[in-house]
Amino acid sequence: MSVLIIAEHDNQQLNPATLHAVTAAAKLGEVHVLVAGSGAAAVADAVKQVAGVGKVLRAEAAHYAEGLAEELAPLVARLATDYRYIAATATAFGKNLLPRVAALLDAPQVSDLTEVVDGQTFVRPIYAGNAFETVQSDAEKLVLTVRATAFDAAAASGGNAEVLETEATPAQNLSRFVSRELTQSERPELTQAKIVVSGGRALGSAEKFNEVLTPLADVLGAAIGATRAAVDAEYAPNDAQVGQTGKVVAPQLYIAAGISGAIQHTAGMQDSKVIVAINKDPEAPIFNIADYGIVGDLFEVVPQLVGELKKV
Ligand code: FAD
């Protein structure tokens, strides 16, 4: 009844998102983790120390370097013969790879699960997080993606799993890696941040977005998020989008400035521990889920907040 988790990494470091999948998978059986990459020894080394990991499978090949789903899927499908469950975190990586694996295995996939009830029963959000459905499957093999915010991260140390080499599958050459543009930032990564400051359409321009929100994020050591409206208007980069078609976050504190609270946005942040909303419209739906609401003009409120926080 063991579970194979596909580790997400950049050949140097394990993406902490994988640690949440380990916690979910531990409820299903012994956890094995596949590290497929190119020169990814340091990642395998990190994974073997993760608490709760029983075994690390390491596959090395140049064509695994960029984590292309077309290259990884045949490897995962081959290894899957030994496992009942194949899992990954529901990040862009996991959401890209696992449907392809499910298709190769002709196995059902339960996506974005938020609870493991038992070995056949899982809870997952539907209707942009407005409802949760419980799904049951007695399929021989199940492919699972795990919502990171629903499970604590497994401890990165304390384990001592054995690392086994596994043979690489031949290159598929169905897709080709062209380039990657990474946002360089001193800020915490959005999905891992303890505090997120997010802005909406109300900010009005990229300049205002940065001018108003950056000082608040700086004083709080927060990551910066945005609504789709703000991203579409190019006030903020794509990878800052929070919501149904963006990232799902659940920080200790989420500050929503000039955000109306459309369900597609709240789907990505409503599990935040404390939500603070700043909006000049007292009827804005965001106030329905906010723990603290400030009715006011964000261009006045946010600088005042920064001023007060600097005194602390
Ligand atoms: P608006 O809804 O225009 O709200 C702006 C708010 O700012 C208003 O409440 C207004 O009162 C307030 N305001 C204006 N001026 C000020 C001021 N000076 N001070 C204080 N408050 C002020 N959206 C997402 O965010 N993430 C998603 O992942 C996402 N996915 C989507 C997927 C689909 C299929 C669809 C159809 C939509 C999706 N959307 C998503 C879009 C979503 O429906 C909303 O359009 C979007 O979230 C609205 O963004 P907003 O709150 O910034 O803008």
φ/ψ (deg, to 5) at 260: -75, -30
What is the average pLDDT score of the chain?
96
Measured CA to CA, the distance from residue 33 to residue 272 in angstroms comes to 29
pLDDT band at 223 (very low <50, low <70, confident <90, very high): very high
167 CB-near residues (< 8 Å, 6+ apart): 59
pLDDT per residue as tens digits for the range 98-130: 999 999 999 999 999 999 999 999 999 998 888
pLDDT band at 181 (very low <50, low <70, confident <90, very high): confident
Q: According to CATH, where is 3.40.50.620 located in the chain?
A: 2-165
Q: Given this model, what pLDDT does residue 1 score?
A: 66
Binding-site residues, in ranges, read 201, 227-228, 241-245, 258-265, 279
For domain 2-165, the CATH superfamily is: HUPs (3.40.50.620)
Q: Given this model, what pLDDT does residue 264 score?
A: 95
Pick the CATH number of 195-310 from 3.40.50.1220, 3.40.630.30, 1.10.510.10, 1.20.1260.10: 3.40.50.1220
Is 99 buried (19+), middle (13-18) or exposed (0-12) by CB count in 10 A? middle
Res 278 pLDDT > 90: yes
Binding-site residues for FAD, in ranges, read 201, 227-228, 241-245, 258-265, 279
Q: Given this model, what pLDDT does residue 7 score?
A: 98
Mean pLDDT of 20-32: 98
Calculate how far, in angstroms, residue 185's C-alpha sits from the geometric centre of ligand 1: 25
Most ligand 1 atoms within 8 A of CB, residue of 208, 228, 294 to mutate: 228
Three-state SS string across the chain, please? CCEEEECCECCCCECCHHHHHHHHHCCCCCEEEEEEECCCHHHHHHHHCCCCEEEEEEEECHHHCCCCHHHHHHHHHHHHHHCCEEEEECCHHHHHHHHHHHHHHCCCEEEEECEEEECCEEEEEECCCCEEEEEECCCCCEEEEECHHHCCCCCCCCCCCEEEECCCCCCCCCCCCCCCCCCCCCCCCCCCCCEEEEECHHHCCHHHHHHHHHHHHHHHCCEEEECHHHHHCCCCCHHHEECCCCECCCCCEEEEECCCCCHHHHCCCCCCCEEEEEECCCCCCHHHHCCEEEECCHHHHHHHHHHHHHHC
pLDDT per residue as tens digits for the range 48-60: 999 999 999 999 9
Mean pLDDT of 20-42: 98
pLDDT band at 86 (very low <50, low <70, confident <90, very high): very high
Most ligand 1 atoms within 8 A of CB, residue of 260, 269, 283, 288 to mutate: 260
> Residue 270 has which token pair?
């409503």
Measured CA to CA, the distance from residue 105 to residue 40 in angstroms comes to 26
Calculate how far, in angstroms, residue 250's C-alpha sits from the geometric centre of ligand 1: 19
Q: According to CATH, where is 3.40.50.1220 located in the chain?
A: 195-310
Q: Given this model, what pLDDT does residue 185 score?
A: 81
pLDDT band at 183 (very low <50, low <70, confident <90, very high): confident
Measured CA to CA, the distance from residue 289 to residue 287 in angstroms comes to 5
Q: Which residues line ligand 1 (CB under 6 A)?
A: 200-202, 227-230, 241-246, 258-260, 262, 264-265, 268, 278-281, 284, 297-299
